[in-house]
């Protein structure tokens, strides 16, 4: 219905979703890293470091220092690569891996917002091209993500602005609301860790999804509702976390051994 003359346009309602462990189980960047490694974008040692980061993320959550370190390394690895190439690989990773790791409960919640006519935005530290891809696949409005600089369609290895993380998420949501006429008091935000609190504080309806221990305590302290979509895995025991960490370490070690074995075999073949 058009706005009557002389009246300001009606404000929109939006829902803002973190991605990793909120929509998708685990770290989406890890699965992208595996695909890039298979295409020899970087070394086995780099993948081992990504695997260690994944295990630590499952065990303890994430810290800004770790994310900054991973970000810097990742930017250097894609310098000189084309945006089209990375996006194409991202599409394959989503279709073959990430789509199978989406929490059905989060998918239903996201679909409910879309059906209600709300704008739905993904807000993630993942590269904005990958965020946009996931948003398109889910039928969301769009994505706010980390912007890696590119010139003439090729990445430079530098960042535009800040990593989409912590306070940067809140600032991006606020700027988007100003640009698109979104009523933040009527809007919703969902995340899984303390790093999403700043974003959730921006809206009138914050709700942790699959929260880590620190966010769960914060939500209980301030009276936020909590959504839990992990089913039987909602409370990860010490033994299961330890198993996941060891499994990641063993898997990474196997990659290293396989790489070394191949190098030795090639050397003997030349003798």
Report angle CA 13, 14, 15 to the nearest 5 degrees: 140
**Is 192 one of the catalytic residues?**
no
- Three-class DSSP category at 17: strand
Closest CA to 187 of 175, 173, 169, 198: 173
Q: Which H/E stretch holds residue 36?
A: helix 28-38
Place of tokens 């039987």: 232
Catalytic residue among 18, 119, 196, 212, which?
Answer: 18
Catalytic residue among 20, 119, 192, 212, which?
Answer: 20
**Is 20 one of the catalytic residues?**
yes
Cβ burial 57-88 (10 Å sphere, 16+ → b, else e): bbeebbeeeebeebbeebbebbeebebebbee
Query: Is residue 146 within 8 Å of residue 159, measured between CB atoms?
Result: yes
Q: What is the dihedral of CA 24, 28, 30, 35, to 10 degrees?
A: 120
Give the other-Cβ count within 10 Å of 136's Cβ: 13
What positions carry a catalytic annotation? 18, 20
């Amino acid at each position: 219905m058009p706005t009557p003359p002389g009246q300001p346009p009606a404000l929109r309602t939006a829902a803002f979703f973190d991605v990793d462990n909120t929509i998708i189980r685990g770290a989406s960047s890890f699965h992208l890293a595996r695909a890039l490694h298979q295409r020899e974008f970087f070394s086995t040692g780099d993948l081992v470091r990504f695997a260690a980061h994944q295990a630590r993320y499952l065990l303890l959550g994430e810290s800004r220092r770790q994310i900054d370190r991973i970000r810097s390394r990742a930017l250097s690895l894609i310098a000189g690569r084309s945006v089209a190439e990375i996006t194409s690989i991202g599409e394959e990773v989503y279709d073959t891996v990430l789509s199978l790791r989406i929490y059905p409960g989060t998918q239903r919640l996201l679909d409910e917002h879309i059906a209600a006519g709300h704008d739905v935005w993904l807000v993630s530290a993942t590269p904005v091209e990958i965020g946009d891809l996931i948003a398109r696949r889910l039928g969301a409005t769009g994505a706010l993500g980390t912007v890696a600089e590119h010139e003439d369609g090729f990445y430079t290895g530098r960042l535009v602005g800040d990593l989409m993380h912590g306070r940067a998420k809140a600032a991006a949501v606020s700027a988007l609301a100003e640009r698109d006429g979104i009523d933040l008091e009527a809007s919703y935000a969902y995340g899984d860790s303390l790093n999403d609190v700043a974003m959730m504080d921006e809206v009138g309806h914050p709700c942790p999804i699959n929260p880590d221990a620190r966010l769960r305590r914060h939500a209980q302290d301030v009276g936020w509702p909590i959504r839990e979509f992990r089913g039987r895995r909602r409370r990860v025991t010490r033994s299961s976390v330890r198993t996941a960490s060891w499994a990641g370490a063993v898997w990474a070690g196997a990659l290293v051994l396989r790489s070394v074995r191949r190098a030795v075999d090639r050397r003997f073949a030349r003798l």
